[in-house]
A = this chain, B = another copy of it.
Amino acid sequence: MGIERVVLIGAGNVGWHLGHALLEAGVVITQVFSRQVEKSAMLAKAIDAEFISNLKEVSPEADLFLLAVQDDAIESVAMQLVDHIGKHALICHTSGATPSNILTKFTKRSGVFYPLQTLSKEKVVNFREIPICITANAKADEEDLFALANRLSSAVFIIDDAQRATLHLAAVFANNFSNHLFTIAQQLLANQNLSLDLLRPLIKETAAKIQVHDPGSMQTGPAVRGDMQTIERHLKALKDYPEFQKIYQLLSLSIQKNN
């Protein structure tokens, strides 16, 4: 049978991009629900779906109910939803940080449909390059979700809850923390009247190298060289930034240990 009709719950960044990707893949989005009327009405219009602002208006006639809502809203939305559509519908959330079993008390046909990317509405992304990680309680649903994901992306993975938790943790290191290092760099530069523009090409190239190489083999800098003179000079230069100094020390030590 497969998944042909989807109800999209949530019109935030993930809902916005998933809605458009599903439409492009030829999937019918029958309804878009959101409490925030304005932006969800816009999304509904863009992807040719009915807009609803009350969960009681959700039509049970859909193959998948996709919950692209904040992590802490998943449970309450699912509860309201099954009150209305019953316990036999396939319900998935899209969160990397939330176990799949948060939904199993509401339906045996629970799952996760997790696109692993940092999404913001302003920026168009090529969805085919975004890894989609699938988890499902029932084998038949897993197959259907896999087939659906494959229509959107060329990188689909079936993973379990433990793997998804690790993936989310690793993404915090790779995205959130590296982004913060860019913020620190910008602050250091600003203090010398220098713009981050000086480092933007370096940041781009660092990420480009990782696309085809292992980061371990690309590690450069004073720590991996064991250049203690430079490290000492840098720590001295950071004396007015005790917090950044600590980060410098800890990451340098970790580089020396792991390389």
Contacts and interface: CB of A to CB of B under 8 A. Distances in A.
Given A97-B222, A173-B244, 5 more contacts: A71-B227, A166-B237, A183-B215, A203-B207, A247-B250
Contacts of A230: 71, 97
Interface in A90-142: 97, 116-118, 120, 123, 125, 129-131, 133
A184 interface: yes
A45 interface: no
Chain A interface extent, by class: 35 or more
Which applies to chain A's interface (DSSP): helix, strand, loop or mixed? helix
A200 interface: yes
Copies in the complex: 2
A155 to B, nearest CB: 7
A133 to B, nearest CB: 7
Contact of A194 (B71, B166, B180, B196): B166
A178 B123 CA distance: 23
Contact of A182 (B189, B203, B210): B210
Interface stretch (A18-26, A49-57, A73-81, A156-164): A156-164
A229 to B, nearest CB: 9
A165 interface: yes
Interface string A177-206: 111111111111101111011111111111
A27 interface: no
